[in-house]
Amino acid sequence: MGDMARFSHTKKVGPAGRFGPRYGRKIRVRVRDVEIKQKKSYKCPVCGFQKLRRVSTSIWVCKKCGAKIAGGAYTPETGAGKIVTKAIRRVIEKKSREI
């Protein structure tokens, strides 16, 4: 029980629990959110399998098909990238309706 009580802080801040009581809760929660996003596997845009993993900053590789893509630092697609993709898709749909 002694060890569990001492390390209970990892329940709330997850991987950022390694910092202990240092740096403040808010920063540790932000670190937790970023690290969980970057360690998660994502859907590959090439083959469609949930095998896209981060290799280094902004470099993502699919463990299934071997595709290598450039993306965001912590997620394969950034928020701005999603907005641009939607805008492009909207323009393409609009042009296809006109024809």
Going from the C-alpha of 54 to that of each of 65, 73, 96, the distances in angstroms are 15, 9, 36
Task: Tell me if 76 sits within 8 A of 46, measured CB to CB.
Answer: no
Judge whether 62 is annotated as a binding position. yes
Q: What are phi and psi of 21, to 5 degrees?
A: -85, 5
User: According to the model, what pLDDT value does residue 27 have?
Assistant: 94
Judge whether 50 is annotated as a binding position. no
Domains in the chain, start-ordered, CATH in brackets? 1-39 (no CATH), 40-98 (2.20.25.30)
Judge whether 14 is annotated as a binding position. no
Extract the residue ranges of the chain whose pLDDT is less than 70: 1-9
User: According to the model, what pLDDT value does residue 9 have?
Assistant: 57
